[in-house]
Amino acid sequence: MRVVCAPTLILISVTICCSLTEKLSNGSSPNIIIMLMDDMGWGDLGVLGQPSKETPNLDAMAAQGILLTNFYTANPLCSPSRAALLTGRLPVRNGFYTTNAHARNAYTPQEIVGGISKDEILLPEMLKKNGYISKIVGKWHLGHRPQYLPLEHGFDEWFGSPNCHFGPYNSSVRPNIPVYNNSEMIGRYFEDFKIDLRTGESNLTRMYLMEGLDFIRRQTEAKQPFFLYWAADATHSPVYASKSFLGKSQRGRYGDAVMELDYSVGQILSLLQKLGIEKNTFVFFTSDNGAALMSGPQESGSNGPFLCGKETTFEGGMREPAIAWWPGHIKGGAVSLQPANVMDLFTTSLALAGISPPDDRTLDGLDLTPVLLNGSHQLDNRPIFFYRGNEMMAVRLGQYKAHYWTWSNSLEELKEGINFCPGQEVPGVTTHDQKEHTLQPLIFHLGRDPGEKYPLSVLSKEYEEVLRSVSAVVQQHQKTLVPGMPQLNMCDLAVMNWSPPGCEKLGKCLKPPTSAPWKCNWPH
């Protein structure tokens, strides 16, 4: 196995980034659209083998662009992965993790006290340097208190919600989640923005589509470069779709949601072409983590051939569908085996915009433009780290993945019916206690064994050679890692969405309880 050492890899990525930044800065800055789905699995797209073939627009997007089959999220849960995308940094660096217990997934429910740190630089803040106007449509999930909201961190516009669309709630115990237009709430889920839990009907995806289309039109008319972060969440339980899509899919309600999202992607790409800006607009489609198999089969997707799903650091939890589309720049019908992740979108977007990345912090994202535009193989051996909370669980290098820790979820949760790996138990791999393998990692060849079922024999020469290479990468990573201040440790019922900005105008302010903070309990 050919391995590039970490210092050499960093030098290569910096050199590529600088040369491309200089080159692209001489031309016009392309518009950037990142479409981030919620709990959509690798196996949910027809182009990736879903047998119902119900994603014609995404399949066409892949045929016209490039399909990245080895693309990963930075964490198997929503909030940390979104923080990683927008900062270009691992959650353990940007603070979106917890130290309340070992290797626990944490996110931003209503009672969370923290959010994205003011010390982090988000992608829209950087893009402002070249005059970009930025909008987020959909789910934010980086903190719901006023100081953490999108317009405080570089976005110019927002239509969506700070939290998941859970509910409905009794307002005296827990408030329903607010929906924002820019800096003020305009209503709440289940009260003003309906989600019918019985039928699955909701017009939210249609609203998100209209908001995205309107933003594109306005910025095009203004001749303004734009960044659209389109973060629709219909595939997160409770899944929903508008009336015209309900009952259409062979896959049930989850499939209905996927079909509407696929339609929406098609409408966005079609508008770019109608406006004549498709050759000046880079579009990237992916998901925040693997399909939530614990919600299946009615409300979860497919992770294809991969092991387990959301919440785990097995392939099913972190390998994502990914398509890049940019007519005239990206060769259509290409398939890239390049290992890549959501943090690369930060650095890649900056390169496309002709902006140098911040040099006062460690970035984990690499510039993918050589791969996307030129089919370069220079980054083939870059490592992919798999974190769960404060622990590095695994690392991928080339075709090999080494597990230093394994854990699905506890036996107690399993007995309660919470199963992250339904029908996929692999003895010694999908362990129900936190099993350490630091001295003798479990190593899989993902080309021969994408389902992580057959670890290499520790007595084989192949294992010995791979371990030597992987160990050097892990040692370098751990030696230089400086964890950020954890933002997801404290909870308090008093900080929930009782009185969001704008509630006075609507008569929807609620009285909070007395503050009584506690350390959040993260069971898995």
Residue 254, number of CB atoms within 10 A of its CB: 29
511 inside domain: no
Say whether both 284 and 135 belong to one domain: yes
| pLDDT > 80? residue 128 | yes
Pick from 18-27, 142-151, 358-367: least confident: 18-27
Say whether both 219 and 119 belong to one domain: yes
491 inside domain: no
26 inside domain: no
| pLDDT > 50? residue 21 | no
- Widest Cα–Cα separation across the chain: 70
Distance CA 110, CA 477 (A): 33
What percentage of residues in the chain have a pLDDT greater than 90?
92
Amino acid 132 reads Y
Residues 371-412 have pLDDT tens digits of 999 988 888 899 999 999 999 999 999 999 999 999 999 999
Pick from 5-9, 62-66, 260-264: least confident: 5-9
Question: Is 288 annotated for ligand binding?
Answer: yes
What percentage of residues in the chain have a pLDDT greater than 70?
95
- Mind spelling out the 3-state secondary structure of 292-320? CHHHCCCCCCCCCCCCCCCCCCCHHHHEE
* Predicted pLDDT of residue 378: 84
* Predicted pLDDT of residue 377: 87
* Predicted pLDDT of residue 380: 84
Inter-residue contact 135 to 158 (CB < 8 Å): yes
Q: What is the mean pLDDT of residues 290-309?
A: 96
* 315 CB burial (10 A radius; 0-12, 13-18, 19+): buried
Say whether both 262 and 167 belong to one domain: yes
Question: Is 289 annotated for ligand binding?
Answer: yes
| pLDDT > 60? residue 488 | yes
Residue 303, number of CB atoms within 10 A of its CB: 29
Say whether both 405 and 369 belong to one domain: no
- Which one, of 190, 210, 299, 199, lies nearest residue 246 by Cα? 199
Residues 80-126 have pLDDT tens digits of 999 999 999 999 999 999 999 999 999 999 999 999 999 999 999 99
Question: Is 5 annotated for ligand binding?
Answer: no
Distance CA 402, CA 468 (A): 11
* Predicted pLDDT of residue 48: 98
* 259 CB burial (10 A radius; 0-12, 13-18, 19+): buried
Say whether both 38 and 100 belong to one domain: yes
Cα dihedral sign for 418, 422, 427, 430? Answer: negative
| pLDDT > 80? residue 342 | yes
Q: What is the mean pLDDT of residues 169-176?
A: 94
Say whether both 399 and 352 belong to one domain: no
46 inside domain: yes
The whole-model pTM stands at 0.95
Distance CA 82, CA 107 (A): 10
Distance CA 449, CA 443 (A): 11
CATH number for position 343: 3.40.720.10
- Which one, of 229, 212, 204, lies nearest residue 269 by Cα? 212
Question: Is 39 annotated for ligand binding?
Answer: yes
Residues 49-71 have pLDDT tens digits of 999 999 999 999 999 999 999 99
Question: Is 341 annotated for ligand binding?
Answer: no
| pLDDT > 80? residue 16 | no
292 inside domain: yes
Structural domains in the chain (count): 2
Considering 359, 379, 399, which residue would you say is the last residue of a domain? 379
Say whether both 445 and 299 belong to one domain: no
Inter-residue contact 315 to 446 (CB < 8 Å): yes
Say whether both 137 and 201 belong to one domain: yes
Inter-residue contact 179 to 162 (CB < 8 Å): no
Range of the domain at 443: 391-480
- Which one, of 302, 404, 409, 389, lies nearest residue 76 by Cα? 389
Say whether both 219 and 347 belong to one domain: yes
**pLDDT interval class at 27 (50, 70, 90):** low
SS3 category, 323: strand
519 inside domain: no
203: CB partners within 8 A, 6+ apart: 194, 242
CATH number for position 410: 3.30.1120.10
Looking at 364-472, which runs of residues are DSSP E strands? 384-388, 391-397, 400-403, 405-406, 435-436, 442-445
Q: What is the mean pLDDT of residues 363-374?
A: 97
298 inside domain: yes
Distance CA 501, CA 60 (A): 41
The token duo for 198 is 């019985």
Written as one string, the DSSP assignment of 87-114 is HTS-HHHHT-S--SSTT------TTB--
Pick from 23-27, 192-196, 463-467: least confident: 23-27
Say whether both 366 and 316 belong to one domain: yes
Tokens 């960093």 locate to 10
SS3 category, 78: helix
Considering 357, 379, 401, which residue would you say is the last residue of a domain? 379
| pLDDT > 80? residue 14 | no
Helix (H) or strand (E) holding 230: strand 226-231
* 335 CB burial (10 A radius; 0-12, 13-18, 19+): exposed
61 inside domain: yes
Chain mean pLDDT for the chain = 95
CA distances from 212 to 71, 206, 237, 284 (A): 25, 10, 23, 15
Say whether both 327 and 412 belong to one domain: no
Say whether both 255 and 319 belong to one domain: yes
Considering 336, 356, 379, which residue would you say is the last residue of a domain? 379
Upper half-sphere CA count for residue 502 (Cβ side, 13 Å): 12
**pLDDT interval class at 194 (50, 70, 90):** very high
| Residues marked as catalytic | 78, 141
Distance CA 59, CA 323 (A): 9
* Predicted pLDDT of residue 1: 39
Q: What is the mean pLDDT of residues 250-263?
A: 98
